[in-house]
Amino acid sequence: DAGVTQSPTHLIKTRGQHVTLRCSPISGHKSVSWYQQVLGQGPQFIFQYYEKEERGRGNFPDRFSARQFPNYSSELNVNALLLGDSALYLCASSVRFSGANVLTFGAGSRLTVL
Amino acid sequence: AQTVTQSQPEMSVQEAETVTLSCTYDTSESDYYLFWYKQPPSRQMILVIRQEAYKQQNATENRFSVNFQKAAKSFSLKISDSQLGDAAMYFCAYRSADGGGADGLTFGKGTHLIIQP
C-alpha cells in the first residue's frame, strides 16, 4: 500500500505569490492534518480535516487555508507568501481524528519563498 | 496551551551502546497521549513509540522503551543497542485526548542523535 504522498516535493515562490500543496492519504484514512516545520524546529499544527470538515486549526493567519475532497485527499493553500513561510510542509493521515489515532506522515513539500 | 521541551539539542552515542533522550511537557489535562517520532534526513516523520497517559506501564517497542513519569511530566526515550540507522532527529510530541485531539500534535524542538561507529 502506498503511504501518504505529497506534491510537489520542492518548490520556489516569490513574496506575494500563492501556493497550493497537495496530499493523498493512506487508503482508508479519513483524516488529514497539515503541519509546518521551519528549519531547526519541530512541526507546528496548522489544520486537521475529517470527513471533509475542518476539525481543528492551529495558530496561523487567515492566509492559510485548506480543504479536503470527497476522496479524502487534501490541499493546503497559502496566499500572499512571506519570507517566513519558507518551511517544510508535512501532511499526515489517520483513520479517524481522535487523539488516540496514530498519524502517518508524508515526506513533505519543501517551500522556499524568495 | 501545552508545551513540550526537549533540553538536549544533540546527543552522541557509540554504536551498540544505550542512550536516553529527555522530554518534559506542561499540561493541565489528565488524559493525553505522548509520542516519540524519528525524522531521518529523508524528512519523513516515523512513529517510534506511543504512550497513553492513563497507562502506568511504560511502553516498549523492541530496542525502544520509555520512562513515563506522569507526576513529573517527564517522558524520556531509551534506545538500547544503538544502530547506525538510529541516527536522526527525534521529536517528542503531545496530543490531548479531549476534543477528539482537534488541537493536533504539539512537538518539541527535537534532539539530533548521532551514532558513532
Confidence at residue B97, expressed as pLDDT on a 0 to 100 scale: 84
Q: Is the pLDDT of residue A99 over 70?
A: no
The pLDDT confidence band at residue A1, using thresholds 50, 70 and 90, is: low
β B3-5/B24-26 pair status = antiparallel
Percent of chain B surpassing pLDDT 90: 83
- Strand partners for A68: A74
Q: Determine contact, residues A34/A91, Cβ cutoff 8 Å.
A: yes
Number of domains in chain A: 1
Q: Is the pLDDT of residue B101 over 60?
A: no
Q: Using a CB-CB distance cutoff of 8 angstroms, which residues of chain B are in contact with residue A42?
A: 4, 91, 93, 107-110
Which structural domain, as residue segments, surrounds residue B12?
A: 3-116
Closest-approach residue (CA) in chain B for A53:
B102
- Strand partners for B92: B36
Task: List A residues 50-79 in contact with B (Cβ-Cβ < 8 A).
Answer: 55-56, 58
Q: How many Cα atoms are found within 13 Å in the side-chain-facing hemisphere of B32?
A: 24
Domain with B76 in it: what CATH number?
2.60.40.10
Residue from A105, A110, A111 whose CB has the most chain B CBs within 10 Å, to mutate: A105
CB proximity list for A28: less than 8 A, separation 6 or greater: A95
Q: Determine contact, residues A105/B40, Cβ cutoff 8 Å.
A: no
d(CA A34, CA A74): 9
Number of domains in chain B: 1
Q: What is the dihedral of CA B92, A67, B101, B9, to 10 degrees?
A: 10
Domain with A96 in it: what CATH number?
2.60.40.10
pLDDT tens per residue across span B18-67: 999 999 999 999 899 999 999 998 888 999 999 999 988 999 999 999 99
Q: Determine contact, residues B59/B65, Cβ cutoff 8 Å.
A: yes
Which structural domain, as residue segments, surrounds residue A36?
A: 5-113
Closest-approach residue (CA) in chain A for B32:
A99
